[in-house]
A and B are shown apart, each in its own frame.
Chain A
């Protein structure tokens, strides 16, 4: 098996090949590199759409991969590698948001701009227009898990089955959650 990066062309390996490389000490680093190359962008955007700010997304992504590397030897392949990675990224994201809420948002009242929106506007890596900001405002009014469902379904276009595996919940609950979120987004825009 050659290097996943050859002449600046990234060869995307199958998940099983990546896991096989990681299992062997001599090829472990190569396996990790292939894993990161394959999933870094997908995971980054999943995280970014939840935490909004680039620096936060970068932190959460690093924590995600640290968790992945620490526990990959215990990965029993009961789910796909993709599902497992998304699950770790989701858990890291949710605990980051929980911590942020705990330490930062205690003093927010209803009339103030949501701190996440204020931070988003200040992010040098954001140049969204008013519509995007409005969308994020309504997103912030959703419970985090519902927001996560919306992101995974609407942006990532994952199936309910895949989302159910990632969030370890039932497809029925997800469908309700997703349609709730859709309705809220739509109502919000209609009322504006």
Chain B
């Protein structure tokens, strides 16, 4: 049995196995070249963040390829879509990049909002008290005041004219009684133009909500007209 084992022959290359010609002659050199390549591959560099961006880049390329494929397959896109695409993307990224929402620069005084509620409440209460005072003035009373004001104004003008002309005539007196109320009102309406808008609003608010809404949009001439209508 032992003799049989020893009699087994080690293949000498002629038992069906073949090698390239001069294989062993070139083997050392070939192995040395492989070693050099393996060592130098560690020194190869890629652009910074190359691998970080690679996935997105590949996905973008796939996206474009897919789109082009779709276009070639009868899909349509808006005219100049690709020409305008970069602008569109740029425009979106402009607002994203600029982040102008967060560059306010606006500040408020310290604790401004903490005291604001009390401050506003006290002011609105005061305003409410003032407007209550105004509301008790009826249109009729206001008319009387207007007439009184015009009388004073006319008297003042009359006196000034009399003084400046130096033509004092004791026999010539202005007879106020001869001027009717309507004439005085007409005079006041024609000559008094500096109406206080908010006072007028208040006057017309009393029992007349529609008028106040309309007043918002009226100019002075229209308000005068409205006043005239109310007086007549």
Contact partner of A132 among B104, B116, B117, B123, CB < 8 A?
A: B104
- Does chain B have a CB within 8 A of A143? no
User: Are A126 and B105 interface neighbours, CB within 8 A?
Assistant: yes
- Does chain A have a CB within 8 A of B108? yes
- Does chain A have a CB within 8 A of B86? no
Q: Chain B, 124-157, contact with A by CB distance < 8 Å: what is the 0/1 string?
A: 1001100100000000000000000000000000
| Min C-beta distance of B90 to chain A, whole Å | 9
User: Are A125 and B103 interface neighbours, CB within 8 A?
Assistant: no
Contact partner of A36 among B121, B128, B131, B209, CB < 8 A?
A: B121
Stretch at the interface among B42-50, B54-62, B64-72, B94-102: B94-102
> Quick one: closest B residue to A41, CB to CB?
B113
- Does chain A have a CB within 8 A of B38? no
The distance in angstroms between the C-alpha atoms of A172 and B79, with both chains bound, is: 23
Which A residues touch B94, using CB under 8 A? 186, 189-190
Contact partner of A154 among B101, B105, B106, CB < 8 A?
A: B101
User: Are A132 and B105 interface neighbours, CB within 8 A?
Assistant: yes
- Does chain B have a CB within 8 A of A127? yes
User: Are A48 and B106 interface neighbours, CB within 8 A?
Assistant: yes
- Kindly count the residue-residue contacts between A and B in the assembled complex, taking CB atoms under 8 Å apart: 79
- Does chain B have a CB within 8 A of A32? yes
The distance in angstroms between the C-alpha atoms of A29 and B128, with both chains bound, is: 13
Which A residues touch B105, using CB under 8 A? 126-129, 132
Which A residues touch B100, using CB under 8 A? 131-132, 135, 185
Given A36-B116, A54-B109, A131 and B123 touching (CB < 8 A)?
Answer: no
Interface size on B, residues (CB 8 A): 25
Contact partner of B209 among A66, A74, A186, CB < 8 A?
A: A74
User: Are B123 and A40 interface neighbours, CB within 8 A?
Assistant: no
The distance in angstroms between the C-alpha atoms of A61 and B115, with both chains bound, is: 14
Mostly, the A contact residues are helix
User: Are B127 and A66 interface neighbours, CB within 8 A?
Assistant: yes
- Does chain A have a CB within 8 A of B107? yes
- Does chain B have a CB within 8 A of A62? yes
The distance in angstroms between the C-alpha atoms of A122 and B134, with both chains bound, is: 38
User: Are B124 and A155 interface neighbours, CB within 8 A?
Assistant: no
User: Are B103 and A135 interface neighbours, CB within 8 A?
Assistant: yes
Contact partner of B113 among A40, A126, A135, A189, CB < 8 A?
A: A40
- Does chain A have a CB within 8 A of B120? yes
- Does chain A have a CB within 8 A of B30? no
- Does chain B have a CB within 8 A of A162? no
Contact partner of A125 among B109, B113, B116, B124, CB < 8 A?
A: B109
The distance in angstroms between the C-alpha atoms of A128 and B117, with both chains bound, is: 27
| Min C-beta distance of A55 to chain B, whole Å | 10
Contact partner of B107 among A29, A70, A126, CB < 8 A?
A: A126
B interface, CB within 8 angstroms of A = 91, 94-95, 98, 100-101, 103-109, 113, 116-117, 119-121, 123-124, 127-128, 131, 209
Interchain residue pairs with CB less than 8 A apart (21): A29-B121, A33-B121, A36-B121, A40-B116, A44-B113, A45-B106, A48-B106, A49-B106, A62-B120, A65-B124, A69-B124, A69-B127, A125-B108, A127-B105, A128-B103, A131-B98, A132-B100, A185-B100, A186-B91, A186-B94, A189-B98
Q: A125-B107, A132-B100 are in contact. List 9 more A-B contacts (CB 8 A).
A: A36-B116, A36-B121, A61-B120, A62-B119, A65-B124, A69-B128, A70-B131, A125-B108, A186-B94
